[in-house]
Amino acid sequence: MVDTTRKKCLGEPTEPTNIVIFGAGGDLTKRKLIPSLIKMLRCGLLHADSKIIGVLKGRTRETWLQAMYKGIKDYAPDIEIDDQQWQTFSAMFKMVDGDLENDQTYTDLAESLESLAGHTHAMFYCAVPPRWYTTIAAGLHRIGLADEHEGFRRVVIEKPFGMNLESAQALNTELQSLLDESQIYRIDHYLGKESVQNLLVYRFANSILEPLWNRNFIDHIQISAAESIGIEYRANYYEKSGALRDMIQSHLMQVMTLVAMEPPVEFTADAVRDEKIKVLRAVRRIEPENIKQQTVAAQYGSGQINDEPVKAYVAEEGVSPESVTETFAGVRFQIDNWRWQGVPFVLWTGKRLPKRVSEIMIRFKNPPFNLFDAHANPPMANSLVFRVHPDEGIALRMNAKKPGLTTDSQRMVMRAPYSENSEDVSEAYEVLLHDVLTGDATLFSRADEVEESWAIIEPILNAWKDRISVDRYRAGSWDVPGMDALFEDCVSGWHKPS
């Protein structure tokens, strides 16, 4: 057995399961899935009798395992594992060599699973480009691997789930003809982030927030994900996707539903998702004539980050020099319901910004009457910030008196780190893999949510699709054209994370 140096995690233990990874030679597997499975095993959340079956083409089991081991060293250095521990851990691995479109691959997989006597549960993880999702589901269906007569059979689908409303609907229809909706786990790793889940607990386990959580006290809400990295090696995907599809349609809109939803009647997958879908249905569709005022699209030019020169998006490998793909996107949504009428929700994200910060900022209204107006520093509007990363936690910005013979105010920030001990904070993929293994779909997107979110951004995609130019911002700067205008009538304007 692998050592169990990491302390026991909270969480329901899982049953022995065959974890099948399609695309087992890929990046997601080595960067996220294998490290998360090791961590889960070490803290007792993954049953030690589970098996990991990689489906991939053109490698021996040995070279595949070497690549996985190197992946842990490169991308998850916090996992202390030596050669000998790795040897023991890798006894859990099996490999099926085959093409995804070849029937024989699924026959071999079925045989491989059959040889694991006593193992009835199976999770199939599609860590592959989206064009393979239905091929895999059809292959599993044909050979009977999706049938749940003995144990569970769950299929995990990565993002992007479709490229627009039509393709998402087609994908849902095809998958639902092969699998039951309850077997489909559409993963959105943002929902696995602990601080995003903490938002739910914070909202619904405290009574002081609810009276403030509405249009009477809140001026606007910003949900953001700033990144300093560029597109790395993903030009092929990113050129077709852009920031709007990559981050806003999925991660940030999902977070918005958690911020805006009504309290669910119980904490179960469907009760939570029923409330989330109501939010999406209430999001006002942006009319073509308003797209310009309510959205921002921009692309990074060359610049400097951490004193290092970085190249422009159009100079990245695999990107067309004429590309007008947006690497920054901002959208101002309105939610038409009693709670949120008139409160802008501004979602924004960008690559090659000065730092990597993701947060949810609730900006409250200004005090109705300013007693201290005559003084040099009038009080600023309060805000409550949920920091998703780095430094997960909550910060409440208030005004307080400056010490001394003055009634001038100064800003006071009350910070509550999410956890004092970073070891206690689980990685998003650990949380989500555990949820799949225990059958908890609360943090996974239901078919209707995915379609509704595509329907919301469809007018923007349509307006942007024929553009012939795009605004530029300097890499490593916050000088994104149009962002200040998006917040023109909002208290304190655009909040650039510090």
User: From CA 433, how far away is CA 296, in angstroms rounded?
Assistant: 35
Residue 294 CB, shortest distance to ligand BG6, in Å, is: 23
String of contacts with ligand BG6 for each residue 417-446, x by CB under 6 A: ------------------------------
H helix runs in 16-158, sequence order? 27-28, 34-42, 61-75, 83-90, 103-114, 133-142
Tokens, residue 6 = 């990491």
Q: Rule CB under 6 A: choose which of 227, 392, 427, 452 binds ligand BG6.
A: 227
Query: What gap in Å lies between CA 70 and CA 30, rounded to an integer?
Result: 8
Q: Report phi then psi at 179, rounded to 5.
A: -135, 160
Beta pairing class for 328-333 and 295-305? antiparallel
Which of 194, 219, 246, 359: binder of ligand BG6 (CB under 6 A)? 246
Q: From CA 97, how far away is CA 306, in angstroms rounded?
A: 43
Q: Where are the alpha helices (DSSP H) in 115-164?
A: 133-142
Nearer to ligand BG6, 159 or 273 (CB): 159
Identity of the residue, 42 or 159, whose beta carbon is nearer to ligand BG6 in the bound complex: 159
Using the minimum distance from each CB to ligand BG6, give the nearer residue, 204 or 237. Answer: 237
Min separation Cβ 225 and ligand BG6, Å: 6
Binding-residue total with ligand BG6 (CB under 6 A): 5
Tell me the two tokens of residue 364.
Answer: 């409250």
In angstroms, give the least distance from the CB of 159 to ligand BG6.
6
In the complex, minimum distance from the CB of residue 176 to ligand BG6, in angstroms, rounded to a whole number: 24
CA dihedral 151, 21, 163, 195 (to 10 degrees): 80
CA–CA distance, 260 with 276 (Å, rounded to integer) = 8
Minimum CB distance to ligand BG6 smaller for 16 or for 354: 354
| Closest distance to ligand BG6 from the beta carbon of 193 (Å) | 7
Taking the complex as a whole, the smallest distance from the CB of residue 246 to ligand BG6 amounts, in Å, to 5
- Residue 76 as a binder of ligand BG6 (CB under 6 A): the answer is no
Smallest distance, Å, CB 390 to ligand BG6?
A: 10
Half-sphere exposure (CA, 13 Å, Cβ side) for 119? 26
- Among 141, 251, 389, 434, the one annotated catalytic: 251
Select the residue whose beta carbon is closest to ligand BG6 and give its number: 246
Q: CB of residue 237 vs ligand BG6: minimum separation in angstroms?
A: 8
- Strand 153-157 relative to strand 345-350, pairing: unpaired
Nearer to ligand BG6, 191 or 394 (CB): 191
CA distance 473 to 194: 32
CA-to-CA distance for 496 and 212, rounded, in angstroms?
24
Number of helical (H) and strand (E) elements in the chain, helices listed first: 15, 16
Q: What is the DSSP letter of 205?
A: S
358 binds ligand BG6, rule: CB under 6 A: yes
Q: Which of 193, 128, 182, 196 is nearest to 157 (CA)?
A: 128
Binding mask of the shown chain, residues 316 to 355, with x at each position contacting ligand BG6 by CB under 6 A: ----------------------------------------
| Closest CB to ligand BG6 among residues 197, 334 | 197
**Number of Cβ within a 10 Å radius of residue 352:** 27
Beta bridge partners of 55: 22, 96
User: What whole-number distance in Å separates Cα of residue 337 and Cα of residue 406?
Assistant: 43
Residue of 178, 225, 260, 280 interacting with ligand BG6 (CB under 6 A): 225
Q: What one-character DSSP code corresponds to residue 131?
A: G
Q: What is the DSSP string of 262-329?
A: PPPSSSSHHHHHHHHHHHHHHBPPPPGGGHHHHEEEEEEEEEEETTEEE--GGGSTT--TT----SEE
| Shortest CB 29 distance to ligand BG6, Å | 15
Interacting residues with ligand BG6 between 105 and 164 (CB under 6 A):
159
Q: Is 434 a catalytic residue?
A: no
Q: Which two tokens stand for residue 256?
A: 């918005």
Question: Given the complex with ligand BG6, which of 142 and 311 has the nearer CB atom?
Answer: 311
Output 294 or 358, the one with its CB closest to ligand BG6: 358
Nearer to ligand BG6, 143 or 312 (CB): 312
- The contact set with ligand BG6 (CB under 6 A) reads 159, 225, 227, 246, 358
Which residues are known catalytic residues? 251
